[in-house]
Structure 1
Amino acid sequence: MAVVTPFSACAWAATAELRAAIDGLPFLAGLADGTLDRSVFRHYLEQDALYLGGYARALALLAARAPDSTAAAFWASSAHGCQAVEAQLHADLLGSELLGAAPPDGEPSPTCLGYVSYLVATAATAPYAVGAAAVLPCFWIYADVGRRLARTAAAVPGHPYRRWIDAYADDGFQQATGTARDLVDAAAQRWPGDVPEMHRAFATATRYELQFWRAAAVRERWSCPV
């Protein structure tokens, strides 16, 4: 009997070029060794806090549309994590001596708004399996990057961004990523007709992950603010 490669493994391999571009970003190199400009990291955190609010909405939509209680519970718990655990991390960092007081609510950058809008729309209107594939890259890429950054950061005494890195290298986040991957693979098996669209959604979200870090590096803002 032929062994069928899981959807997630195929999608990960298909986006290898995009992930190589992510790995080569100067932003991540600076984050790894602690030399990233504080103003750049601050801008990134401000945008990421705005992004996580939208990501939580997408996860909540998946929870409401999930095919079983196990999937519903996981997506709902993950949505809560975005709003609580990671929001507290951002609040603590933005209010720290390193980065200064947290600012009032800001405006999402073009990339942030585009990514959030894509995820929420996909989770709300596309088939469940496609929505699940769209939210997976955020889990998986951060787990992958966080684990590798942690190895580099461990060799830097007093690393200024160690707390952020540790949040994504954490065993709990790594396990959650594995669960998300398993749920997406189960959806691909249950609805094989959705697999081509799932691949497009996974690739699109991966492109947005790359662009989000690129936008942070240049502190992207609207050219014509309102």
Structure 2
Amino acid sequence: MTRTYHSGPHSQEVWDSAADTLRAIEDLPFLAELAAGTLDARVFTHYILQDEIYLAGYAKAMTILASRAATQEQTRFWAEAAGLAVHEEQLMHAQLLGADRLGPHVTALTDGTGVPTASPTTLGYTSYLIAQAATAPYEVGVAAVLPCFWVYAHMGKVLTARVGEGMGEHPYREWIETYDSPEFDSSVDRAVAIYEDLARSAGPEVRAAMAAAFRQATVYEWHFWAAAHVRESWDAPRC
């Protein structure tokens, strides 16, 4: 059903260390409803709008990593991921938001401006990634951005398996197939391989910090989908 993307013992260990969070992600109502095709279009629109903001921050983090990488190969990978890969996801978002099913909800969810405001979780996650990429050791920054690659690829395959033969008419088919594709798998393979190479060469302190950053970002992945399901905003609860 799924691929592991493990390229060595360090990536295997860090993936296994996040097992509880990964199970919690698989059990999220947002993803269960998405697989069933019953996810409210307003909820999915909110998610896509927040993901637009997230991708801009994620691209900044990878651009910083590209400038700090020790090899030309790694510089090229992060630069391409920040440019072409993110651009392709943004094109997919534009197509989804321009469709009849989601388009009408954009105005209501952006106070008529068409420009979304980052939710608390979106702001927290992007700020964390940019800070790790800019101020932590390069290896730790790499570990922080890795879950977005790896968890999305994993869930793409989990969702494909859940949908099964109903994919042809599934309302969220385009989104699922973006993350369950040979092209995305290739990017994940390379990102995991970079993590493995860096962890192999790192000392114990840096390796431990890498694992901690990976787990923290994986928790943010959980919060990001959970926040989307309730359409999290900055509005204070009323007494």
Q: Give me the TM-score of the superposition, normalised by structure 2.
A: 0.89
**AA partner of residue 113 (structure 1):** L
Amino acid at match of 1:23: E
Cα distance in 2 between the residues matched to 1:137 and 1:7: 14
Aligned to 2:183: 172
Q: Structure 1 vs Structure 2: percent identity of aligned residues?
A: 45
Classify 1:29/1:83 alpha carbon distance in 2 versus 1 (closer, same or farther; 3 Å): same
Runs ≥4 in structure 1, deviation > 3 angstroms? none
Instruction: In structure 2, give the amino acid aligned to 1:213.
Output: W
Give the equivalent residue in structure 1 for 2:197. 186
Q: Does 1:222 align with 2:222?
A: no
Which range moved further: 94-103 or 142-151? 94-103
| Counterpart for residue 158 of structure 2 | 148
Quote the offset at 1:82 in angstroms.
4.5
Q: TM-score, normalised by structure 1?
A: 0.94
Root-mean-square deviation over aligned CA pairs: 1.5
Residue aligning to 2:69: 66
What is the distance in 2 between the residues matched to 1:199 and 1:164?
29
Tell which deviates more after alignment, 114-123 or 5-14. Answer: 5-14
Per-residue Cα deviation, 1:87-143 (whole angstroms, up to 9, x for no partner): 111011011111115552210000000000000000001001000000000000000
* Structure 2 equivalent of residue 207 of structure 1: 219
CA distance in 1, matches of 2:125, 2:214: 12
Q: Distance in 2 between matches of 1:160 and 1:192?
A: 47
Counterpart among 24, 28, 51 of residue 27 in structure 2: 24
Segments of 5+ residues of structure 2 without an aligned counterpart are 1-7, 108-113
- 1:176-216 deviation per Cα after TM superposition (whole angstroms, max 9, x unaligned): 10110000111111222410100110010000000001100
Partner of 1:90: 93
Report the Cα distance in structure 1 between the residues aligned to 2:235 and 2:207, rounded to whole angstroms. 38
- In structure 1, the residue matched to 2:122 is 112
What is the count of residue pairs matched by the alignment?
Answer: 221
Alignment correspondent of 1:159:
170
The separation in 1 between residues aligned to 2:86 and 2:15, in whole angstroms, is: 27
Secondary structure, counterpart of 2:103 in structure 1: coil
How far did 1:16 drift?
0.3
Q: For 2:171, what is the secondary structure of its paired residue?
A: coil
For each residue in 1:71-93, what CA deviation from the matched residue of structure 2 results, as whole angstroms up to 9, or x when unmatched? 11101000013541111110110
Question: 1 or 2 for the larger relative contact order (CA 8 Å, sep ≥6)?
Answer: 2
Q: Take 2:56 and 2:80, find their aligned partners in 1: how far apart are those partners?
A: 14
Gaps of 5+ in 1: none
Q: In the alignment, is the contact (CA less than 8 A) between 1:63 and 1:72 conserved in 2? A: yes
DSSP 3-state at the match of 1:51: helix
Which residue does 2:148 correspond to in 1? 138
